Structure 1
Amino acid sequence: MKFIKNRKFDIWSSITLIVFLFYIITLVFPLFTLLIKSAINGNSGKFSLEYFMKFFGKQYYYGAFFNSLKVTISVTLLCVIIATPLAYIMTSFKIKGKTAIQILILVSSMQPPFIGAYSWILLLGRNGVITNGLKQTFNITAPNIYGFTGILLVLTLQLVPLIYMYVSGALKSIDNSLLEAAESMNCTGIKKMAKITIPLILPTILAGSLLVFMRALADFGTPMLIGEGYKTVPVLIFNEFISEVGGDDGFAAAISVIVIIFATIVFLVQKYISNKKSFTMNSLHPVRAKKIKGIKNILAHIYVYLFVLLALLPQITVIYTSFLNTSGLIFTKGFSLNNYRSAFSRVGDAISNTFIIALISISIIVILAILIAYVTVRRRNAITNLLDIVTMFPYIVPGSILGIALLVCFNKKPIMLSGTIAILVIAFVIRRLPYTLRSSAAIVHQISISVEEAAISLGASNLKTFFKITLPMMLPGVISGAILSWITIISELSTSIILYTARTKTMTIAIYTEVIRGNYGVAASLGTMLSVITIISLLIFFKVSGQSDVTI
């Protein structure tokens, strides 16, 4: 391994510095600018903690923070409680239609949460289908779907699949001999799960919980649509930054800094606990799904099918609604393609913008992920270690805050990017790169260094070895991660809502604005298009990766 130990400044060092410079300009500098803006008085231009005192001085403001905390903690706990048994059942037992169910679970999580909010309003809102049906048929008043309850329902059903993917992957890495040893000592059923299985997968559960926590904390569309006065931090930040009456971007920056500090603390605590509880497992005898009979079999199937039905209900509602005839804001009898015609005629640019921006973003993501994954795994040093940390930091920065940071930083010369496609591309690349980077780095770890050493010993340069040997072996992992990045890009709202203009509107923005205006048919048709794109993307993922499910 001399060629690794005795490195000189070469092409890879140059690439590392260029990528690091890119992140300094597009992430570090904007966040630093946001920090400065939060500590400068808007009138005097002098250093001041006025904005922070304002936030903690009024219940209206810090109350939104506690509302967000209540939502995120509740959603995270519910997701763990629901997803862990779901993953255990799907991994340990033979469930009819298992492959199709796994795809449907993933599809249910790949839509923007605000579409779920809109769907549940159609179903259980004041004039919803289920609400009216219960009232007219049984004279039963449906539960109130608005406020905290609605946000909790929507986000839980949306985010359970994330923990499901994490836990499924962890369960497949458990050596079945450990479970068999426990059973030989009369440790079975729930006792075995509590004493053996849960402790083994606890670090994975914590990792999945962190992702759910951050996604719930950052979500803007759901509380905006279904919250009805239940204000959360993303909504508060948006109102303070965008509002033409009484808005204050300095105050929005201060709230953003508070959220980033809080998210960073949560992230560090999670990492500390995970590191203390982490260990290596070698699955020499992986868990194999077994057939069960009797009441256990019935209950397992009911649990899985019931969750899939509830999780898919919003998307089924959206697809059904998209084909209904509409008269103004009212759905009428009969079916047609009028909503799709209206969608293409009214928001056609949003559809083309989505594909243009997503294609540019994913191209940059693939290139950066390949380069960063290689240098952080193969050429470890102080700079690449720092680069690894910086590239994963957007994992904990809410999208709306990143959008504000970019807009504050690049809204004036010499770098004037506001209102352009470029600023959206930068935001999407920074936010969604970790998905592709994670899978790319994982596959580099699996490639033996001896393969590269052999090529170099035969006279190939480092760069030629990379392109001829390493890169072809990396591609399956890169493409798999890129598909997941692609899906999250086309469904992005929280960043887009801050950065878009009339010329750069995307499908998610179009759906959101149509819902706000009450044009549910057009919104439903656009939502259905997103669902179709998501399904096609997942099918490509399965074809490329050779897998029948997605685990993290």
Structure 2
Amino acid sequence: MFTYKKILYFIILLLLISVIDFWIFSNIKSSYNKMLNDTLLKTGHIISKSISEDEKDYNSWIEKYEKENETLKIIYIDGLPDFFESTEYYIDKNIYNFYKNLIETDEFKKGIESAEYSEFYITKKDYEYNNSKYRIIFSPILSNDYDVLGIGILFFEIDKYLKFYSLANIFMFSIIIIFILIYGIINFSRDPIMNFIILAIFIIVAVFTAYPLFEAFRLTFIKNGEFSLEIWKKILTTNQYLKAFWGSIKLGISTATLSTLIGFLFAFVLTRTTIKGKKFFNTMATLPVISPPFSLTLSILLLFGNNGLITKKILHLQNFSIYGLLGLTLVQTMGMFPIAYLTMVGILHSIDSTLEDASLDLNASKLKTFLTITFPLSMPGILSAWLLVFTNSLADFANPLILSGNYRVLSVEAYLEVTGMNRLGNGAALSILLLLPTITAFLVQRFWVSKKSFVTVTGKPSPRITELVSKPVKIILISLIIFIIIFLISLYGTIVAGCFVKNWGIDYTFTLENIKEALQRGKDAITDTVTLASIATPFAGIIAMMTALILVRKKFIGKRIFEILIMAPFAIPGTLIGISYILAFNKPPIILVGTGAIIVINYIIRELPVGVEGGIAALRQIDPSIEEAAQDLGADVPTVFKTIVLPLLRPAFISSLSYTFVRSMTAVSAVIFLISAKWYHITVLIYNFSENLRFGLASVLATTLIIIVLAAFGIMRLLVKESEALEKTVSQ
């Protein structure tokens, strides 16, 4: 692929493109600079003519123009310094001191001299003052007879104009980089189309994952335009923030532990025992995953809040409060145990039961077999489940926003720093701080698992699973599951009931007004949410499957970095993503804040890791020789992907589409930073209704959202059915 002739042509073309590129952009910047100078000079002419010969209150004249233009500072010299006695007038003492320090420089002397001879003079270079760049005009103030009365020194702040030069430089170097990449891929690679796809996806994740995170990290080390550790010093020494940090840790540990226990209970009973109605139990175990994040919090408040049905109406409790760690642990556990269940059910299902049979044949009891065989082999799944729930608990934003009360957590503190106090740097630092326990837990889990072997499937696994519980224990376990399901159903039933109650906690009169008012006020938010989620879903699904194909089938330079960038959003708190998107895309070269595009991009990037993981798992079960055969028959990469890979990945692809749609519909943490007057989100509206104690309206919208999400999952179940060949039977 690499020949002397090709390399020589490449170097010659690169030099030619570079010369033309630099020449074009040099001319563009030169023309822009001339236009900027002309604009500033015209402004100087207007200001110089605005003062009359009879004007004596020069300070009022200066104050008027400085108020009209915040980027302008004026010093007026009444008289000619080199010929007569003169007096200086100014409002800003700091700018005057800055001027006095430069008065003896050659350029300032030339400016004064030019103005004394009725000529306008604009400085050849820009001067830095108070972390801003200024271009200075020396303007003669003329009488009606064109005599020079004085000199106006106009300091124009030009930071916003200089951004054009930075943008021009970005485009200038981008053209050269694009040429190198395109020419190199076409002429020096064996599979140009695939390499272009890799490059395109790499650029997408670099721009929308790495760049925003870099901007967020950078901001935490900047104070007044200069490098500073002040933000981190404040974050790590302020008792309020440290209390919130430990609050998040405690909440994460308690939620992860309880959720893992409940998840293991469901997974064990459904995979290792004979029980009727497994599909129903499985549905109930996964229901909270597909419900909006506020729904369970809302129902907890309706049942156990200050005016709750149980706490006030039934039990008449006075001093009980569901707010704080107790309420948060309860609602997060009920909302997140399905994550643990879904993680562990596959592990328990795949354990080869011949080891358990061997243990039982050697007269070990069922309890001992469970403790020495089944439980240790389940440990990777248990640890992964605990880690996933712990990570989700730390990043959870919706539940603490309503239910935390006086209990502090970092995700809410970061939100308040940004929206309440407009301190983006502090908000970014607090969100970054959330990454530390997540990364620590991840590394500990990976280190522990890597030290042990859990391999049990060395050939064809047994299609039979031995039941490891006695009948009394089985009754207890099933009773616990039924109790949890009843509680879960009561929570969702409460939300539905809240739709038809006039004023929950005060007036339980039946009414349909909530439905009418909520749908009228929320129709735009519902439309926006469904529209944006529908736009994001196909893009996320296709990108996920193509990325999975690349990661499984292709080897290329930077593959590890590529994979890290793809998977990073899964571990990053939503608050950090929201803040970083505001910082990155609220300025050139990419301005997206306030548009629907930034919300769609957030959906795609945020949910991409799950789709990629599903695609990778499915691809590893497909023999690559099928794709190779198609390529041998002359099919190119897009054709192979469209006709071979995508049909075989249909279950994973549909699952990715459904997951992205559902998560987009129920998103809160990042979206709450990105919504605008034009594009709203139904979950944010539910939060606003809940915060204003309009529980009836919140219940209607939460129920509407649940119906939409369940409909999406129902369609998924119709499109993809689990293969009966993979089912296992449980024997007693």
Tell me whether the two structures share a fold, i.e. TM-score over 0.5: yes
8 Å contact kept, 1:118–1:515:
yes
Mean alpha-carbon deviation: is it higher for 311-320 or for 231-240? 311-320
The equivalent residue for 1:426 is: 601
Shift of 1:481: 2.5
Tell me whether 1:332 sits opposite 2:508 in the alignment: yes
The equivalent residue for 2:290 is: 110
The equivalent residue for 1:249 is: 424
Residues 91-130 of structure 1 correspond to what in structure 2 (within 5 A)? Answer: 91-130=271-310
Residues 228-307 of structure 1 correspond to what in structure 2 (within 5 A)? Answer: 228-243=405-420, 246-277=421-452, 279-282=454-457, 284-288=461-465, 294-307=471-484
Mean alpha-carbon deviation: is it higher for 207-216 or for 380-389? 380-389
Mean alpha-carbon deviation: is it higher for 179-188 or for 402-411? 179-188
Residues 160-179 of structure 1 correspond to what in structure 2 (within 5 A)? Answer: 160-179=337-356
Residues 251-400 of structure 1 correspond to what in structure 2 (within 5 A)? Answer: 251-277=426-452, 279-282=454-457, 284-288=461-465, 294-324=471-501, 326=502, 331-336=507-512, 338-400=513-575
The equivalent residue for 1:147 is: 324
Tell me whether 1:67 sits opposite 2:243 in the alignment: no
Residues 7-156 of structure 1 correspond to what in structure 2 (within 5 A)? Answer: 8-41=190-223, 43=224, 45-136=225-316, 143-156=320-333
8 Å contact kept, 1:375–1:384:
no
Residues 488-527 of structure 1 correspond to what in structure 2 (within 5 A)? Answer: 488-527=663-702
> What is the one-letter code of the residue matched to 1:35?
F
> What is the one-letter code of the residue matched to 2:288?
S
The equivalent residue for 2:402 is: 225
**CA distance in structure 1 between the aligned counterparts of 2:298 and 2:209, rounded to whole angstroms:** 33
CA 1:463/1:126 → structure 2, altered by over 3 Å: closer, same or farther? closer
The equivalent residue for 1:3 is: none
CA 1:182/1:540 → structure 2, altered by over 3 Å: closer, same or farther? farther
CA 1:314/1:382 → structure 2, altered by over 3 Å: closer, same or farther? farther
The equivalent residue for 1:158 is: 335
8 Å contact kept, 1:80–1:163:
yes
Could you tell me which of 540, 564, 582 is aligned with 1:407?
582
> What is the one-letter code of the residue matched to 1:334?
F
- Once the two structures are superposed, residues 294-331 of structure 1 have per-residue CA deviations (whole angstroms, 9 ceiling, x without a partner) of 5334213211111112233321110111133x269954
8 Å contact kept, 1:329–1:519:
no
Shift of 1:224: 1.6
The equivalent residue for 1:180 is: 357
Cα root mean square deviation, aligned: 2.4
Mean alpha-carbon deviation: is it higher for 246-255 or for 256-265? 256-265
Q: Is the partner of 1:333 in helix, strand or coil?
A: strand
CA 1:335/1:181 → structure 2, altered by over 3 Å: closer, same or farther? farther
- Once the two structures are superposed, residues 267-313 of structure 1 have per-residue CA deviations (whole angstroms, 9 ceiling, x without a partner) of 23322323333544436114547598753342132111111122333
**CA distance in structure 1 between the aligned counterparts of 2:372 and 2:707, rounded to whole angstroms:** 42
* Greater C-alpha radius of gyration: 2
Could you tell me which of 200, 204, 212 is aligned with 2:381?
204
> What is the one-letter code of the residue matched to 2:508?
T
**CA distance in structure 1 between the aligned counterparts of 2:320 and 2:353, rounded to whole angstroms:** 44
> What is the one-letter code of the residue matched to 1:223?
P
**CA distance in structure 1 between the aligned counterparts of 2:284 and 2:504, rounded to whole angstroms:** 33
- Once the two structures are superposed, residues 209-230 of structure 1 have per-residue CA deviations (whole angstroms, 9 ceiling, x without a partner) of 2211111001112112111111
Q: Is the partner of 1:25 in helix, strand or coil?
A: helix
Shift of 1:472: 1.3
Q: Is the partner of 1:267 in helix, strand or coil?
A: helix
- Once the two structures are superposed, residues 351-386 of structure 1 have per-residue CA deviations (whole angstroms, 9 ceiling, x without a partner) of 001111101111110121121011111102333332
Shift of 1:156: 0.7
Q: Is the partner of 2:323 in helix, strand or coil?
A: coil
> What is the one-letter code of the residue matched to 2:417?
E
> What is the one-letter code of the residue matched to 2:217?
L
The equivalent residue for 2:156 is: none
**CA distance in structure 1 between the aligned counterparts of 2:580 and 2:391, rounded to whole angstroms:** 18
Shift of 1:143: 4.7
- Which is richer in strand? 2
- Once the two structures are superposed, residues 152-199 of structure 1 have per-residue CA deviations (whole angstroms, 9 ceiling, x without a partner) of 100011111111111111111011111111111233333222211121
**CA distance in structure 1 between the aligned counterparts of 2:448 and 2:720, rounded to whole angstroms:** 32
- Once the two structures are superposed, residues 378-432 of structure 1 have per-residue CA deviations (whole angstroms, 9 ceiling, x without a partner) of 1023333321221111111001110000001111223111111111111111111
**CA distance in structure 1 between the aligned counterparts of 2:380 and 2:291, rounded to whole angstroms:** 27
Relative contact order, CA 8 A, sep 6+: which one is greater? 1
Q: Is the partner of 1:277 in helix, strand or coil?
A: coil
8 Å contact kept, 1:30–1:406:
yes
**CA distance in structure 1 between the aligned counterparts of 2:370 and 2:471, rounded to whole angstroms:** 20
How high is the TM-score relative to the length of structure 2? 0.70
- Once the two structures are superposed, residues 53-94 of structure 1 have per-residue CA deviations (whole angstroms, 9 ceiling, x without a partner) of 111112111110000001001111111222212211111222
**CA distance in structure 1 between the aligned counterparts of 2:445 and 2:332, rounded to whole angstroms:** 21
**CA distance in structure 2 between the aligned counterparts of 1:346 and 1:175, rounded to whole angstroms:** 55
**CA distance in structure 2 between the aligned counterparts of 1:143 and 1:187, rounded to whole angstroms:** 48
Q: Is the partner of 1:382 in helix, strand or coil?
A: coil
CA 1:297/1:262 → structure 2, altered by over 3 Å: closer, same or farther? closer
The equivalent residue for 1:476 is: 651
**CA distance in structure 2 between the aligned counterparts of 1:530 and 1:276, rounded to whole angstroms:** 44
**CA distance in structure 2 between the aligned counterparts of 1:369 and 1:73, rounded to whole angstroms:** 31
Shift of 1:498: 1.2
**CA distance in structure 1 between the aligned counterparts of 2:346 and 2:302, rounded to whole angstroms:** 35
8 Å contact kept, 2:366–2:468:
no
CA 1:256/1:468 → structure 2, altered by over 3 Å: closer, same or farther? same
8 Å contact kept, 2:307–2:506:
no
- Which is richer in helix? 1
Shift of 1:347: 1.5
> What is the one-letter code of the residue matched to 1:538?
F
In the alignment, structure 1 segments of 5+ residues that lack a partner are 1-5
**CA distance in structure 1 between the aligned counterparts of 2:281 and 2:370, rounded to whole angstroms:** 23
**CA distance in structure 1 between the aligned counterparts of 2:384 and 2:444, rounded to whole angstroms:** 11
**CA distance in structure 2 between the aligned counterparts of 1:131 and 1:192, rounded to whole angstroms:** 44
**CA distance in structure 2 between the aligned counterparts of 1:18 and 1:517, rounded to whole angstroms:** 45
8 Å contact kept, 1:90–1:98:
yes
CA 1:305/1:328 → structure 2, altered by over 3 Å: closer, same or farther? closer
**CA distance in structure 1 between the aligned counterparts of 2:264 and 2:321, rounded to whole angstroms:** 28
**CA distance in structure 2 between the aligned counterparts of 1:475 and 1:85, rounded to whole angstroms:** 31
**CA distance in structure 2 between the aligned counterparts of 1:150 and 1:174, rounded to whole angstroms:** 36
8 Å contact kept, 1:256–1:401:
yes
> What is the one-letter code of the residue matched to 1:24?
A
8 Å contact kept, 2:294–2:686:
no
Count of residues paired in the alignment: 537
**CA distance in structure 1 between the aligned counterparts of 2:574 and 2:507, rounded to whole angstroms:** 34
Could you tell me which of 198, 209, 216 is aligned with 2:393?
216
Q: Is the partner of 2:307 in helix, strand or coil?
A: coil
